[in-house]
Structure 1
């Protein structure tokens, strides 16, 4: 892989992370203490990125540097999404059980009142 292609892949992975976390360029640029233009150039592969900046970005997005470099971003993001969906499904099931219990109580009350 050529150096330009490598930089382009890293930039695309960073952009993918940002979009997956529903963050705007301004928000991320401010957190990294760089300009929006500088972040845009990184994401578009128009500028080289040094290892310290890469480490800063990885820390911000809570992923490893190697995942950004090796294009494992989709895997880590997907895994986070799967875990979140699983947790939400469980919460929904718990609420469904509560609703069913409340419905039973209402039916029992109607029976007691003879309605």
Structure 2
């Protein structure tokens, strides 16, 4: 019989479970992501995710709405922002502060030799 999973008591645990559930690995040194906090004068203001690989950025971008919904269902509010560089590379931000930004993926320009 499967073991019941206790509800996440902290936002760090909640978002880490969600991202691991998407197949990403947690930790530094060749892993996909880590979860950390933003502190002011020793007080934690918010929690955010650091993505270490392009693969992690792409998975987070592809599942942005699912991540937000799962965090909300777990009792924590996280915003997943998705931005694109001029070259078309995706950059994500996952945090429980501020607001989200969702940019549309830029169209790939076809360059023809003249």
Q: TM-score, structure 1 length as denominator?
A: 0.27
User: Which has more helix, going by share of residues?
Assistant: 1
Instruction: State the structure with more CA Rg.
Output: 1
User: Which has more strand, going by share of residues?
Assistant: 2
